[in-house]
Chains A and B, each alone.
Chain A
Amino acid sequence: MALNGHQCDDDTIDEDETPTKQPRSNKEMPGYFRNESNNEAASPAGRATSDRRTSNSTTRHRIDSLKKTRPPFPWFGMDIGGTLVKLVYFEPKDITAEEEQEEVENLKSIRRYLTSNTAYGKTGIRDVHLELQDLTLCGRTGNLHFIRFPTHDLPAFLQMGRNKHFSSLHTTLCATGGGAYKFESDFRTMADLQLHKLDELDCLIRGVLYIDSVVSSGPSECYYFENPTDPDHCIQRPYTLENPYPLLLVNIGSGVSILAVYSENNYKRVTGTSLGGGTFLGLCCLLTGCSTFEEALEMASQGESTRVDKLVRDIYGGDYESFGNMMSKDKRESVSKEDLARATLVTITNNIGSITRMCALNENIERVVFVGNFLRVNTLSMKLLAYAMDYWSKGQLKALFLRHEGYFGAVGALLELLHPS
């Protein structure tokens, strides 16, 4: 009786999934287990622990209890930042014929729309390369999709939600990021949607730990740069984030937050800086007239920062004064947009590196994980950060990066939907 209980709104989905689930679950297990055991040691009450129990269990009883708490589809997690909205969508691939038949048209249409396109409207983009396939979540198997669009296009998104009658699905929309607060009333009035608001740092950490724990095949989630101080031999290498704690988590979005994480539930925000991705893009727009992050990065990759910055060659070799050369009129006139973009990128990145390094020293933490959308397709910044961490600490600090750089908050929000804390 319980398994068909009304706790699950969508009764039909509950049937017949154990056969498919079990093997998939096993397949996920190696990677899953590895980190879970560590997590457990650090935080016995951790959420991931319950997942492990579930996947490890062969008893019908466990599965039943899972069904009870499982929310109805669609499963979304959303992170509404200052610049970008990040959306993760779980597409169930284990839908039975019966389920398919029962599935309401709206739900189907949303699923098809999201999974059959890689771009939405003018600015929405699905990062296909980040898609996680054959993922088992809450007893269901499917693909996790990663979608983003600029925050200023949120009204269009809400309009779409309204057109597609999203609200008729009676789903809970878990959202984090400042926009969850700022736009809560817009969600209600424009799309008749009720947001479940979540703290962005809680979600971020939960998302990081989860993604790291479930990715076992394909490119390693976590990586670092070997020989960061030697440009010719600087190579990206996979990294196994074993015993992750303590770690310094640096989230570079529009601004920057730096967190010291001691366990999944034990973390603190050490500091933050307003010189982040938004500053890079904002300054680039003003200085070069560009309008997108990609454009700015492209210019930066072609520029030369030393024409803009002022090198102090004499005393403390290696130092420079950002934009120092721009005090001179002649040099201002001869500088190219590409050089300016480059200098902006280098300045912002090095500053983040510098503050991060000081925090790592003050907190006595040796591992630094950089996340956030500023690092998207931004190898230059990642290498600079890797260089800065390594060089200034004489090899003591390690800069780590995660493939799903900007999506962890949204993933954390999704997890909250599936496993309310």
Chain B
Amino acid sequence: MAECGRVDSSTSSHTMDKSITLPPDEIFRNLENAKRFAIDIGGSLTKLAYYSTVQHKVAKVRSFEHNTKDADSDKLYEISVQEEVTARLHFIKFENAYIETCLDFIKDHLVNTETKVIKATGGGAHKFKELIERKLGLKVDKEDEMTCLIKGCNFVLRNIPHEAFVYAKHADSEFRFQTTHPDIFPYLLVNIGSGVSIVKVESEDKFERIGGSSIGGGTFWGLGALLTKTKRFDELLQLASKGQHASVDMLVKDIYGGSYGSLGLTGDLIASSFGKSATADKEFSKEDMAKSLLHMISNDIGQLACLYAKLHNLSRVYFGGFFIRGHPVTMHTITYSINFFTKGEVQALFLRHEGYLGAIGAFLKGAEEDSKGGVETCIISGSRLLHKVSLDLSCENPNQYSWGENYAGSSGLMSVSPDMNPMQRARSGTFDMLEMDRLERQLVNLPLLQDPSSYIPDTMDLTEDALAREYWLYCFEEALDGVVKRAVASQPDIPEANERAEKFRQKYRHKLQTLRHQPFAYGSLTVRSLLDTREHCLNEFNFPDPYSKIKQRENDMALKYYEKAVKSMEELSWEQRQFALVRGVLAGNVFDWGAKAVSDVLESDPEFGFEEAKRQLEERPWLVDSYDQWLERLKGPPHKCALFFVDNSGVDIILGVMPFVRELLSRGTEVVLASNSGPALNDVTNGELQILTERIAAMDPVIQAGLKEDRLTLVQSGSSSPCLDLSRLDKVLAMVVRERKTDLVIIEGMGRAIHTNYYAMLSCESLKMAVIKNSWLADRLGGKLFSVVFKYEVPAGKPSQDSAALTPS
């Protein structure tokens, strides 16, 4: 239900208006392009949602025409930076006190929008209706709260990988994020606003309020205010966190003298809430009463939730509402209660963006109606330019796309730290933001995951591993100067690049600082999330592809050696060749600007060659070494189809991967090369790989034939990350994988095979190859710098390929 806070909002809010100066470009971002507004006004917080289109620069590669190729022979392809318009959803949360200031700000910055209506939900929507209509000139269209809440909940559960978490106060990390289950339904949503609503959600459109309770946040607030004369909700929680409930509650041991053994009820269990305040003639402290009240209400809600979950046979129970919202105290007591009543069978789940659900839902409701209502003309005005953009960007239902949380534009969980004194919090006037980018393609699971529901991409959870966290945060901070330098260098002709790069530095450093204090801010902290955050921040400041020029140079250079490399392979015996090919992939993988140890060398010694890399490689036996099994397997029948997730540009892809691919093709195995959709570090993008492959095909009949006969296919992964999340891949990739009956997955590189997917279990054979180019990580894994991981796995239960080889069908 709605938040409540009717206490102060009307009286004190207006006095604060206007006195606040907003840092607008950091809060209501992109307002010039905004359209389709929705607002959710609770008792104390307002959540605003809008859609905007973002123009940002993207690096595109384009092959030179064949006739001009000779003229400009030192360059393989042309890089151009183009403006691209993408869709973004903005959600901003602020205290009701600022509502008027914010509406004024929006009014002043809204340009020429066709928007006529603002969707509204929440208990306060009615109260502020007139104000909104007057200020914005938009008609307030009220939407049902519960519908909005559920819509929003479905949306975040589907689109934000680490949305849900378990809160365990005494674990190493309090937050344990849940991996997105492919099927989010059915679930129970327990919304603890003033009262409690218990909703069973069975599908996108089917939900039912199956129960509720009058004892909720309002009871805590109201009764708490009566008992302690403390008005503010936050202060009551603060009191509660300091109290001792045993002085107010009658415990089992107060009645029994100890535990009630035959029922297994321990002595510390509350037998009667407030039971002692009836029998004793004494004063009780505010803290103790608040604590007792908190326990009473949390336990009661937890118990009811469990009874409903049991009755409807539901195991996923999410809790939300203002009673929960970011408050460790209430998350803890609710978690405790659920554990107690279900004996640990059901876990209480909380949502990172719980506060936004109503606004997201209201926004989606509006979008759905618009998309049904047909095409709508809209003019999107930028601050500098006025463009007409294609209408399909704005008028479609967001639910038809996949969306991704933009780490650069989102505040993260508990941006308003609950540890802060509530008075400070109130005055600080914090704004919390969530931005979601529309992804160009729909993302789905790799069909070859053994168990999609238990798949966790990341090898190390830095949220839980304090030592690793410290190292990686330090590592990323150390690398920041280099990244800034490269970003500036990538745009040599643009004078304000320096300024933007500096802004990028500040933003990313700030993110790192936030993550140091709140590692849980964006879900599980992982090397992947740190890398992705950096990419998001770079994009934010229009550095779409800082490595584009480096990649181009490296690709050019590597191509020159391709024929020679292939030829040297052909001279080897079959068995020697198999080993040389693997060594080639591994040596190629040393060429990685993402790894600090390597970028140092690459920068200081550009001549650092392929052969040099091979020499640096660890001798067998490698750190992880199943090469013998791999070789045995190669002696058997060829694979039907291999899916190869590639890594870096240049030497890696051209001299390492391509010869390997060539061998697979020669064996009769079809190959699907999966590369990033967008740029990340020096990873080869799909666009670049298309051109490279064409060029190689021109030199190499095997590759040529592969392309021609459709036995070599290039697909994009759907990702723009140096890491790999096999649960969020391009739908087309999944389709190709299925069609080709893929029976081998090859994952290359540290980001994709070690930081992520090291423990990923696939339902077919898999090969994970990487060189550890980070001494800390090498140390962690028991190896040293440039140690090799060669992990060939056959899923348990599959008939061994060795025996299959002995008995060919």
Binding site for B on A (CB under 8 A): 81-83, 150-152, 177-179, 181-184, 199, 201, 253-255, 269, 271, 273-279, 281-287, 291, 308-310, 312, 315-316, 319-329, 332, 340, 347, 350-351, 354-355, 358-359, 361-362
Number of cross-chain contacts by CB at 8 Å: 201
Contact check: which of A184, A254, A279, A340 meets B296 at CB < 8 Å? A279
What are 14 of the A-B contact pairs (CB < 8 Å)? A82-B271, A82-B275, A178-B255, A179-B255, A199-B262, A255-B250, A279-B275, A282-B276, A286-B284, A308-B222, A322-B222, A327-B218, A358-B311, A362-B310
- Proximity bits, B267-279, A CB within 8 Å = 1, else 0: 0001111111111
A322 to B227, CA, bound (A): 14
Most buried by A among B195, B212, B252, B289: B195
Contact check: which of A278, A326, A362 meets B272 at CB < 8 Å? A278
Beyond A151-B279, A323-B222, A332-B222, 8 additional contacts (C-beta under 8 Å) are A279-B275, A282-B276, A286-B227, A321-B219, A322-B215, A326-B222, A355-B307, A362-B311
Contact status B194-A177, CB under 8 Å: no
A150 to B219, CA, bound (A): 29
Contact status B213-A354, CB under 8 Å: yes
On whether A321 and B271 interact (CB within 8 A), knowing A281-B278, A285-B277, the answer reads no
Q: In the complex, which residue of chain A has the Cβ closest to the Cβ of B216?
A: A321
Q: In the complex, which residue of chain B has the Cβ closest to the Cβ of A257?
A: B263
Interchain nearest-CB distance for B429 vs A (Å): 22
Interchain nearest-CB distance for A374 vs B (Å): 10
Contact status B218-A178, CB under 8 Å: no
The verdict on B592 contacting chain A, using a C-beta distance below 8 Å, is no
**Which residues of A lie under 8 Å from residue B278 when comparing CB positions?**
83, 278, 281-282, 284-285
**Which residues of B lie under 8 Å from residue A150 when comparing CB positions?**
279
**Which residues of B lie under 8 Å from residue A354 when comparing CB positions?**
211, 213, 304
Contact status B272-A182, CB under 8 Å: no
On whether A328 and B6 interact (CB within 8 A), knowing A81-B255, A283-B223, the answer reads yes
Q: In the complex, which residue of chain B has the Cβ closest to the Cβ of A254?
A: B272
On whether A328 and B7 interact (CB within 8 A), knowing A255-B271, A322-B219, A340-B226, the answer reads yes
A284 to B223, CA, bound (A): 11
Contact status A347-B214, CB under 8 Å: yes
Give the total of B residues in contact with A, Cβ under 8 Å.
62
Contact status A327-B222, CB under 8 Å: yes
Tell me which residues from 3 to 34 in chain B have a Cβ below 8 Å from any Cβ of chain A. Answer: 4-7
**Which residues of A lie under 8 Å from residue B216 when comparing CB positions?**
321-322
Contact check: which of A329, A347, A358 meets B308 at CB < 8 Å? A358
Contact status B222-A274, CB under 8 Å: no
Contact check: which of B219, B273, B284 meets A274 at CB < 8 Å? B273
Contact status B272-A255, CB under 8 Å: yes
On whether A320 and B195 interact (CB within 8 A), knowing A254-B271, A358-B304, the answer reads yes
Tell me which residues from 240 to 267 in chain B have a Cβ below 8 Å from any Cβ of chain A. Answer: 248-250, 252, 254-258, 260, 262-263
Contact status A282-B260, CB under 8 Å: no
The verdict on B691 contacting chain A, using a C-beta distance below 8 Å, is no
The verdict on B221 contacting chain A, using a C-beta distance below 8 Å, is yes
Contact status A327-B7, CB under 8 Å: yes
Interchain nearest-CB distance for B345 vs A (Å): 14
Contact status A324-B4, CB under 8 Å: yes
Interchain nearest-CB distance for B72 vs A (Å): 69
**Which residues of A lie under 8 Å from residue B145 when comparing CB positions?**
315
Contact status B279-A83, CB under 8 Å: yes
Q: Please provide the 9 A-B residue pairs with the shortest distance between their CB atoms, ordered closest to farther.
A: A326-B222, A282-B274, A278-B272, A178-B255, A182-B257, A323-B222, A278-B275, A324-B218, A358-B307
Contact status A283-B274, CB under 8 Å: yes
The verdict on B146 contacting chain A, using a C-beta distance below 8 Å, is yes
Most buried by A among B212, B256, B270, B273: B273
**Which residues of A lie under 8 Å from residue B254 when comparing CB positions?**
82, 182
The verdict on B83 contacting chain A, using a C-beta distance below 8 Å, is no
**Which residues of B lie under 8 Å from residue A328 when comparing CB positions?**
6-7
Interchain nearest-CB distance for A158 vs B (Å): 15
Q: In the complex, which residue of chain A has the Cβ closest to the Cβ of B276?
A: A282
Q: In the complex, which residue of chain B has the Cβ closest to the Cβ of A290?
A: B278
**Which residues of B lie under 8 Å from residue A350 when comparing CB positions?**
214
Contact check: which of A269, A322, A332 meets B263 at CB < 8 Å? A269
Contact status B252-A178, CB under 8 Å: yes
The verdict on B702 contacting chain A, using a C-beta distance below 8 Å, is no
**Which residues of A lie under 8 Å from residue B209 when comparing CB positions?**
316
On whether A326 and B214 interact (CB within 8 A), knowing A83-B278, A178-B260, A358-B308, the answer reads no
Q: In the complex, which residue of chain A has the Cβ closest to the Cβ of B5?
A: A327
- Proximity bits, B188-227, A CB within 8 Å = 1, else 0: 0000001101000000000001011111101101110111
Q: In the complex, which residue of chain A has the Cβ closest to the Cβ of B7?
A: A327
Contact status A278-B274, CB under 8 Å: yes
The verdict on B299 contacting chain A, using a C-beta distance below 8 Å, is yes
On whether A319 and B214 interact (CB within 8 A), knowing A177-B255, A274-B272, A312-B195, the answer reads yes
Contact status B227-A309, CB under 8 Å: no
Interchain nearest-CB distance for B560 vs A (Å): 71
Contact status A324-B226, CB under 8 Å: no
A354 to B197, CA, bound (A): 13
Interchain nearest-CB distance for A340 vs B (Å): 7
A326 to B324, CA, bound (A): 20
A286 to B227, CA, bound (A): 7
**Which residues of A lie under 8 Å from residue B6 when comparing CB positions?**
327-328
On whether A315 and B250 interact (CB within 8 A), knowing A182-B257, A329-B231, A355-B307, the answer reads no
Contact check: which of B214, B249, B256, B304 meets A322 at CB < 8 Å? B214
A396 to B700, CA, bound (A): 80
On whether A274 and B213 interact (CB within 8 A), knowing A254-B255, A327-B6, the answer reads no
Interchain nearest-CB distance for A23 vs B (Å): 42
A399 to B465, CA, bound (A): 55
The verdict on B78 contacting chain A, using a C-beta distance below 8 Å, is no
On whether A321 and B257 interact (CB within 8 A), knowing A328-B6, A351-B215, the answer reads no
Q: In the complex, which residue of chain B has the Cβ closest to the Cβ of A282?
A: B274
- Proximity bits, B290-332, A CB within 8 Å = 1, else 0: 0000001001100110011011000000000000000000000
Interchain nearest-CB distance for B212 vs A (Å): 6
A183 to B258, CA, bound (A): 11
**Which residues of A lie under 8 Å from residue B84 when comparing CB positions?**
none
Interchain nearest-CB distance for A62 vs B (Å): 34
**Which residues of B lie under 8 Å from residue A347 when comparing CB positions?**
214-215, 219
Contact status A271-B279, CB under 8 Å: no
**Which residues of A lie under 8 Å from residue B227 when comparing CB positions?**
286-287
A183 to B311, CA, bound (A): 40
On whether A321 and B279 interact (CB within 8 A), knowing A287-B227, A358-B307, the answer reads no
The verdict on B144 contacting chain A, using a C-beta distance below 8 Å, is yes
Most buried by B among A178, A179, A362: A178
